[in-house]
Amino acid sequence: SEKPATTCAVFTLNTVKAAPVLLSMERIKSGKSQALLVNSGNANACTGAQGMTAARETSQIVAEGLGIPDEAIQVSSTGVIGVQMPLERIKSAIPSLIEGLSSGTLDDIAQAIMTTDTFPKMEASSETAGGVNYCVAGIAKGAGMIMPNMATMLSFIISDAAVEPVFLDKAFRRSVDTSFNAITVDGDMSTNDTCLIMANGMAKNPLIVEGTPEALAFESLLGKVLLSLAKQIVHDGEGATKFVEISVSGAKSDADAKRAAMAIANSSLVKTAFFGQDANWGRIFAAVGYSGAEVDQSKLSLHFDDVCMADNGVFTGGDAEQRGSEVLRKKEFNVSVDLGLSSGQATVYTSDLSHEYVSINADYRT
C-alpha cells in the first residue's frame, strides 16, 4: 500500500506456531501495515531461532527495497513443516519481486501461494459509502489441513475503503467466524493459518463507523467475499469429490449448533460415507451425540436435501434409503439436522474423504 493501511488479522490457535505467525502477531499490535511478504513451499515452522532470523531478514530486505519501516511488513509462509528456509534463494528473489510490483490483478499472487491447491482462489466486490465507490478483494490458499479456527489456510483481503479501526476488527472477526471458521476438510489445524485484511482508505469515502447503514453494507460485503473464498477452499479440498453444506437447527444455543455441525463435518466415518454415496444417517446422529451439544435423541430429525431420513430419532423407512443415496450421488448437497430443543443454529461446509486424500498426504514429502 502506498500509505499505511489499517490492518487486522486472525492467526492459528495451534500452540505450535510458525516463525512468520509469531512475527506477524507481534507487528499486528500497531494496527497498521503497508506490505505483505508470502512464500510457498516452506512453512518456516518448528525451525527455532534460525527460522525467526530468516523471517526477520527477508522482511528487512523488502522494507529497504520499498523504503518503508520493517515493522510495516506482515510475513506469512506455507509448505513443509520442520525444514529450514532456503534463505539465500528467497533473498535473491526479492529484488525482482519489488521491481515487478504493480496494481494489476490478484491472479499471479493467488497462484504463487498455492501448494496442493488445484486452482487459485480469488474474489472481489464493490459497494458505496457516501456516494463513493470502494472495493473489497481477496485471495486464499488451502486444500488440506483445513479446520482453521483462527489449515494451511492463508487468506489476504485488501480494500481501499476508509474504515474505523475498531469496527474493522470487529467486522473482520465476525466475518471470519462465519466463513473460514465454518469450514473443514480434514479436521487438522495448521501451524501457519493466517487471515488478514488491509484497508488503506484510498477510495476517500467518508469514514465507515459502527452503527451506520454504511457499516452494515461494508460488513455484508466483507462477509460475502470471505465466504466465497472459504467455499472455494472446501471445493478444492484434497481429493474431494463432494461439497457438503451441514446445517444444524433447533439447538439450545448457536454455539451448541456449531459444535454439532463441526462434529458431523469432521467425522471420518461420515465423510467416507459421503464419498461412498452411502446414506448412513446413523453415523451423523452418532457424531451429534458425542459433539458436546445438548441432545435429546427422541427429538432428532435429519434430512439429505429434502429427503427426510430420520424423525424423532428413528429411521423414517419406506424409500428414504434409496432417495437419500440418490442425493449423495450429487456433487453438492445439504445435510440438515434439527435437534428439536430451541432456536440455536449454525451452518458449516465440508468435503468428503476419498482414496485420493490419503494418496496426496502419504506422498506429500516424497
- Reference 219, options 274, 182, 175; nearest CA is 175
b/e burial code for range 84-99 (CB count within 10 A of at least 16 → b): ebebeebbeebeeeee
Q: Angle, nearest 10°, between helix axes 281-290 and 254-266?
A: 130
Q: Nine-digit cell at 209?
A: 463507523
The conformation of residue 164, written as its DSSP 8-state character, comes to: -
How far is residue 238's CA from residue 186's CA, in Å, rounded to a whole number? 9
Would you call 78 a catalytic residue per the annotation?
no
- The answer to whether residues 257 and 339 touch, using CB atoms and an 8 Å cutoff, is yes
How far is residue 223's CA from residue 127's CA, in Å, rounded to a whole number? 13
Return phi, psi of residue 176, to 5°.
-65, -40
What is the Rg, in whole angstroms, of the alpha carbon atoms belonging to the chain? 22
| 319 Cβ contact list (under 8 Å, min separation 6) | none
- Reference 155, options 43, 310, 36; nearest CA is 36
Task: From the candidates 7, 12, 115, 152, give the one annotated as an active-site residue.
Answer: 152
Q: Which residues sit opposite 333 in a β-bridge?
A: 244
- The answer to whether residues 230 and 179 touch, using CB atoms and an 8 Å cutoff, is yes
For 110-159, the DSSP string reads HHHT-SS-SS-EEEEEEEEETTEEEEEEEEEE-SSS--------EEEEEE
| 100 Cβ contact list (under 8 Å, min separation 6) | none
The conformation of residue 34, written as its DSSP 8-state character, comes to: S
Active site residues: 152
